[in-house]
Amino acid sequence: MQPLSDIERQRIRIALVEDGGREDVTSLATVDENADGMGTFIAKADGVVAGLEIARHTFSLYEVLHGIASPEFAFEATVSDGERVQTGDSLGTLRARLRTLLAAERVALNFLQRMSGIATMTRAFVDAVAGTGAVILDTRKTAPLLRPFDRQAVRAGGGTNHRYGLGDMVLIKDNHIAANDGDIERVLAKLKDFFANPERAHVPVEIEVTSLDEFETILRLGTGIIDRVLFDNFDIELLREGVRLNHGTFETEASGGITLETARAVAETGVHFLSVGALTHSVRALDISFEIEPMPS
């Protein structure tokens, strides 16, 4: 498991504070302070796992925040992120104070279930385009503050991350073109001037087109400026024609309402990338339970 980044640690902390900024009064009232226990994560549906280290750190950080020191705190994973599991499979066990297990359970499961749901959906899309050479990309359509976890889950499912944030890539969308009175040539000229500054670090440049006429303008004037063209909401025939016209000039990407049922047909047009917002904006959490039992004193 890869070590967590600082931003991931910070956001797990925020989630714990949100859920238990005050005391867990239920556990305080009903569970002995020094009682130890074991919790087991169990898959309640078939899917792909992601987020095990996030779940482990959630319990560990809970103890730090609340001044708890489990004498035998230990997490043992029985599967790895990216691994397929079936209903009833154990994902791992955690030994800690019972109060820790009970109080941090919901936050840990929220992360683990969401991330595993994303990984499961991503794997389904990756499988759908297998053998075509096309790459499945995520988008910035992530839940606020959960982007690091959503992107990690996409990778666990076999997908690839698009840009993390606005500073990582120039991505000219329809509204950027509209802001220039719909004049793509003006946009291209501005891009050329923007990167003419020797102090300006170059980042990849992608531009969205919504018609073949727009794409032909990019082919005519965009060489040396544009790295990738995004065909947005093209039907299969138009997309195939766009790829033919491109003839290897730019990287190509398709987006807009791509589903599991249509993904393979889109990939078979020859585009290099399929960006799928549904991976993170319409995720269905994978059903996972956390079964707790006390340990002998």
**CA distance linking residue 196 with residue 203, whole number of Å:** 13
**Helix axes 98-128 and 52-66, enclosed angle (nearest 10):** 160
Catalytic entry in 206, 214, 232, 253: 232
CB burial of 140-167 (b: ≥16 within 10 Å; e: otherwise) equals: bebeeebbbbbbbbbbbbbbeebbeeee
208 is a catalytic site residue = yes
Catalytic entry in 84, 106, 190, 228: 106
- Sequence-separated (6 or more) residues with CB below 8 Å from residue 99: 24, 27, 28, 31, 33, 35, 68
Q: Would you state the structure tokens that stand for residue 253, as one six-digit string?
A: 């990407």
User: Across-strand partners of 230?
Assistant: 208, 253
Residues 60, 68 contacting (CB under 8 angstroms): no
User: Across-strand partners of 172?
Assistant: 207
192 is a catalytic site residue = no
**CA distance linking residue 201 with residue 91, whole number of Å:** 44
173 is a catalytic site residue = yes
**CA distance linking residue 116 with residue 50, whole number of Å:** 5
Catalytic entry in 150, 208, 214, 253: 208
Helix, strand or coil, per DSSP, at residue 297: coil
**CA distance linking residue 120 with residue 117, whole number of Å:** 5
Catalytic entry in 84, 163, 173, 264: 173
Residue 55 class from Cβ within 10 Å (0-12 exposed, 13-18 middle, 19+ buried)?
A: buried
Q: Which residues are catalytic?
A: 106, 141, 173, 208, 232
